[in-house]
Structure 1
Amino acid sequence: MKNIVVLGGGESGVGAAVLAKQKMFAVFLSDQGKIKPKYKKILQKHSIAFEDEGHTTSEIFKADIVIKSPGIPDDLLLINNLRNQGVEVISEIEFAYRFTDATIIAITGSNGKTTVTKMVYHILEQANLSVAMVGNVGDSFAMHLATQPEVDNYVIEVSSFQLDNCVSFKPHISILTNITPDHLDRYNNNFNLYRKAKFKILQNQGQDDFFIYNEDDLAITEFLPKISTNVQLIPFSKKQLKQNIAAFIEQNTIKINLNQQKTFNMSINNLNVKGTHNAQNAMAASTAARLLKIRKQTIRESMESFRGVEHRLEEVKVLNNVNYINDSKATNINATFYALDSMTKPTVWIVGGVDKGNNYQDLLALVNERVKAIVCLGIDNSKIIDAFGKTVDELVETANMADAVLAAQHFSNAGDTVLLSPACASFDLFENYEDRGRQFKECVRKL
């Protein structure tokens, strides 16, 4: 019997442990921090040995395979020592993949991946296909395999951290939405290392598989020729493309050409979610659906009924003719760029958190044009103050969501928008971006 050690007792780690136990491995889970009570209950229910608030290295080094949670850095001394001793270190996504023959549709990117994942899942569900949505949204991939009936199709949102530790993971369809500077603190502030991690999504794909990518993203198109692959490439773009296999927008209409298939047309005016970035997301998702031979009408109806993603430009409330918008999922500069770019009214911007190597200069023109006041929400706001202190008339610092919302209300007038779009991670003041977004909504609804 092989020994499996799982490092990290969160969603993916516990899912991996449960699947490993089900597959008759000897399993031990170890977490440097404190495991949440809900996860301890799951481990106890499945009789899985575990520890928290520290690692017992003598137990960990008994491992034949280590499954590492994505939050644990690759350059940790413990991880390096395990690899030096010949122990295989993989991600939960990689481990789960080894136990299914289902069709995999995998989505990654700096921004938009959750929206595209949910769009693809929504279309497949509306088409009555056997499908589950796993990974960074929904259940962990491993937990779903262990505890739910297996499905024919898995739609998986994967992060660069998960891809870093994939070996054989091979989607039938992969989608890369974009690559912009993010998580650079985990990649030695080297954008190229981060970009390479994203491209690992196609490393095992072959000539019968498909890679759908953003042709408008220079970070993708300049790197793609350096990749040795025979996967079928399908670009999507805001501009008209001449290729036989491509998706693009022409005269406010999404057009998808897939060789011998008739062109698929869909007006972007009929999309339930607005904005150019959502038109691109819909293009990517609809292209995947067409490759799976889903009827055109089903795709159109699905995109017309798709409601968007919580914490992504989510309208919360209109109070005294001020629109409050929750974009807590914007944890990097590019995501916040999309948000500010979609603002059509004077905006009070709530920003801040754990900086991930942000270059705020990229937002300067938009802030100058659209933002009337800035409310900082974080423990260290110095970079934000340095970047925008001379650009806006009003800038204040707050250390909790209630104060941030009250300050934003104070600065806003009828016809304005209050936008929470932090451009930063949330871990200084909140459990995660969902917690941050929910606190924002609760505070707004109490006004």
Structure 2
Amino acid sequence: MNDNNNKETNQKHPVQGGGGTRLVVLGAGESGVGAAFLAQQRGFDVFVSDFGGIADNYKKQLEDWNIPFEEKQHTDELILNAVEVIKSPGIPDKAPIIKKLHENGTPVISEIEFAGRYTDAKIIGITGSNGKTTTTSLTYHVLKDAGMNVGLAGNIGKSFAYQVATEKFDWYVLELSSFMLDDMFRFKVDIAVLLNITPDHLDRYDYKLENYAASKFRITQNQTAADYFIYCADDPETIKGMKERTFGAQLLPFSIQQKFEPGAYLDNNDNIVINTTQEHFTMSIQDLALQGKHNIYNSMASGIVAKVLELRNETMRESMGNFKSIEHRLEFVANISGIRFINDSKATNVNSTWYALESMTSDVVLILGGVDKGNDYSMLNDLVKQKVKAIVCLGKDNKRIHEAFDDMVEIIVNTSSAQEAATVAYHLATKGDTVLLSPACASFDLFKNYEDRGRQFKDAVKEL
């Protein structure tokens, strides 16, 4: 088993702060800076250390709050004297400083774990390899529209810790990645949602899918009979993982292949039906704001959460019908000379790209590539044969993409900037086609992150 799931030993007694107890935050991004602010507010002696450079906006916040920090290094003597360390989800356990902390017996936790100690709010936690940002955003939208006092955090928006320090929400909808879950121990999710488990980030999990799956199932830890676990009954890895585990929470499955009561299912391939202990909810899939098979699952998961919270059917129908898709996730950019441009930069794994291609109804010029995380592209073969007329590679090393698709697609072109990729794709497409940026890879070779990649692509499209 992944040793991420055997780290409970140092987590028995959370540090309470006050009296200048030393707490170190590793990583000065959104979650780290938010955690530092909350820690300072709670009386800790806080120090922030980032092995890379710190963005100017975060540096200014730390300076304004008089929180000491260092960048482009980790100084052992300033870190190893901490009573507890909050680590950015992006820092792997094999990083030298983390190894030293573990050898030292210093508890290393996530920002979510830390912030959870200081709020009485109820938590809806959403995880999965694909669809979690969309489902988290939709769930937040439905709850907010219903008049609930709800915050949105985790892998999305303002950090959970910063909101705990500055807001007073009754509920939070948290998007939780496997990296966040790895460093959560006592934290409890009142309503847990697991959308799916497909190979992703396996470089962080000894290239073993069962280790990655074990991280995803951590979302159910500490749950009791008063809580809910909402899961996809059509996802083979989820079902496999459930057979090996026991759950304290009430189980609510969703499926488009079979009928579940209680749970959610598809009636006559046309209506979502959700039944919990509350009045049944039905809605035509044609009326959902989010279209495509994968979004039926996302809408079902959000709908079950809403019914568990006893929201009115009319309110749910309205908000599930008017939700606007999120940036960088199958986002329509422009229609130029009859060619549609779609920004799906958030597709950083093969499965996400599969979902994107599956929802396309025209011929596609596909922009793929970036930092390959050990991708197996074979799952795309059928969709590529059916729908893709050309591939534009956007990355420094495109060898794996060529190996996967050279025999399948007549035209594969290498490019090294968003502008070049957009221009080449435009010339390869004809009226009625779709140019789809859905890279299946991380973005760090040419861009700061997937948002930067998506924005550069959108800017480039607007200049065509």
Q: Shorter-chain TM-score: which interval?
A: over 0.9
Q: Which residue of 1 aligns with 2:405?
A: 388
User: How high is the sequence identity, in percent, across the aligned residues?
Assistant: 52
Q: Which residue of 2 aligns with 1:216?
A: 234
Query: For 2:92, which of 56, 60, 73 is the aligned residue?
Result: 73
Q: Which residue of 1 aligns with 2:438?
A: 421
Give aligned pairs, total.
Answer: 444
Alpha-carbon distance in 2 for matches of 1:64, 1:57? 14
Alpha-carbon distance in 1 for matches of 2:261, 2:401? 46
Query: For 1:41, which of 53, 60, 65 is the aligned residue?
Result: 60
Is residue 2:417 matched to residue 1:411? no
The alignment's TM-score, normalised by the length of structure 2, stands at: 0.94
Q: Deviations over 1:52-100 (max 9, x none)?
A: 1111101101100000000100122321221222211000010000111
Alpha-carbon distance in 1 for matches of 2:279, 2:158? 36
Q: Which residue of 1 aligns with 2:159?
A: 140
Q: Which residue of 2 aligns with 1:374?
A: 391
Is the contact made by 1:328 and 1:436 (CA closer than 8 Å) also made in structure 2? yes
1:90-129 alignment runs, 5 A limit: 90-129=109-148
Alpha-carbon distance in 2 for matches of 1:239, 1:390? 34
Alpha-carbon distance in 2 for matches of 1:76, 1:326? 33
1:273-352 alignment runs, 5 A limit: 273-352=290-369
Deviation at 1:153, TM superposition (A): 0.5
Query: For 1:6, which of 2, 17, 25 is the aligned residue?
Result: 25
Structure 1: 5+ residue stretches without partners:
none
Deviation at 1:229, TM superposition (A): 2.1
Deviation at 1:344, TM superposition (A): 1.6
Amino acid at match of 1:186: R
Is the contact made by 1:240 and 1:250 (CA closer than 8 Å) also made in structure 2? no
Deviation at 1:133, TM superposition (A): 0.3
Is residue 2:435 matched to residue 1:402? no
Is residue 2:65 matched to residue 1:83? no
Query: For 1:50, which of 52, 66, 69 is the aligned residue?
Result: 69
Is the contact made by 2:395 and 2:415 (CA closer than 8 Å) also made in structure 1? yes
Is the contact made by 1:277 and 1:338 (CA closer than 8 Å) also made in structure 2? yes
Q: State the SS of the aligned residue for 1:223.
A: helix
Alpha-carbon distance in 1 for matches of 2:88, 2:235? 29
Q: State the SS of the aligned residue for 1:222.
A: helix
Alpha-carbon distance in 1 for matches of 2:435, 2:247? 46
Amino acid at match of 2:287: N
Amino acid at match of 2:202: L
Deviation at 1:145, TM superposition (A): 1.3
Amino acid at match of 1:106: G
Amino acid at match of 2:340: N
Q: State the SS of the aligned residue for 1:407.
A: helix
Q: Which residue of 2 aligns with 1:27?
A: 46
Q: State the SS of the aligned residue for 2:77.
A: helix
Q: State the SS of the aligned residue for 1:181.
A: coil
Is the contact made by 1:123 and 1:303 (CA closer than 8 Å) also made in structure 2? yes
Deviation at 1:240, TM superposition (A): 3.0
Q: State the SS of the aligned residue for 1:106.
A: strand
Q: State the SS of the aligned residue for 2:63.
A: helix
Q: Deviations over 1:237-286 (max 9, x none)?
A: 11232x43111111211111113x22211111111121111111111001
Deviation at 1:346, TM superposition (A): 1.2
Alpha-carbon distance in 1 for matches of 2:172, 2:402? 44
Amino acid at match of 2:376: N
Alpha-carbon distance in 2 for matches of 1:216, 1:244? 15
Alpha-carbon distance in 1 for matches of 2:161, 2:206? 30
Is the contact made by 2:390 and 2:411 (CA closer than 8 Å) also made in structure 1? yes
Q: Which residue of 2 aligns with 1:187?
A: 205
Q: Which residue of 2 aligns with 1:446?
A: 463
Q: Deviations over 1:21-66 (max 9, x none)?
A: 0000000111111111111111111111111111110110110000
Is the contact made by 2:130 and 2:351 (CA closer than 8 Å) also made in structure 1? yes
Query: For 1:357, which of 368, 374, 383 is the aligned residue?
Result: 374
Alpha-carbon distance in 2 for matches of 1:150, 1:430? 36
Amino acid at match of 1:3: R
Alpha-carbon distance in 2 for matches of 1:416, 1:288? 37
Amino acid at match of 1:394: I
Q: State the SS of the aligned residue for 1:179.
A: coil
Alpha-carbon distance in 2 for matches of 1:344, 1:270? 18
Is residue 2:180 matched to residue 1:162? yes
Q: State the SS of the aligned residue for 2:320.
A: helix
Moved over 3 A (4+): none
Deviation at 1:315, TM superposition (A): 1.1
Alpha-carbon distance in 1 for matches of 2:154, 2:441? 22
Alpha-carbon distance in 2 for matches of 1:85, 1:408? 53
Deviation at 1:403, TM superposition (A): 0.6
The alignment yields a C-alpha RMSD, in angstroms, of 0.9
Is the contact made by 1:30 and 1:51 (CA closer than 8 Å) also made in structure 2? yes
Is the contact made by 2:181 and 2:215 (CA closer than 8 Å) also made in structure 1? yes
Deviation at 1:368, TM superposition (A): 1.1
Deviation at 1:156, TM superposition (A): 0.5
Is the contact made by 2:74 and 2:97 (CA closer than 8 Å) also made in structure 1? no
Alpha-carbon distance in 2 for matches of 1:84, 1:204? 27
Alpha-carbon distance in 1 for matches of 2:353, 2:62? 38
| Greater CA drift, 118-127 or 69-78 | 69-78
Q: State the SS of the aligned residue for 2:123.
A: strand
The alignment's TM-score, normalised by the length of structure 1, stands at: 0.98
Q: Which residue of 1 aligns with 2:271?
A: 253
Deviation at 1:342, TM superposition (A): 1.4
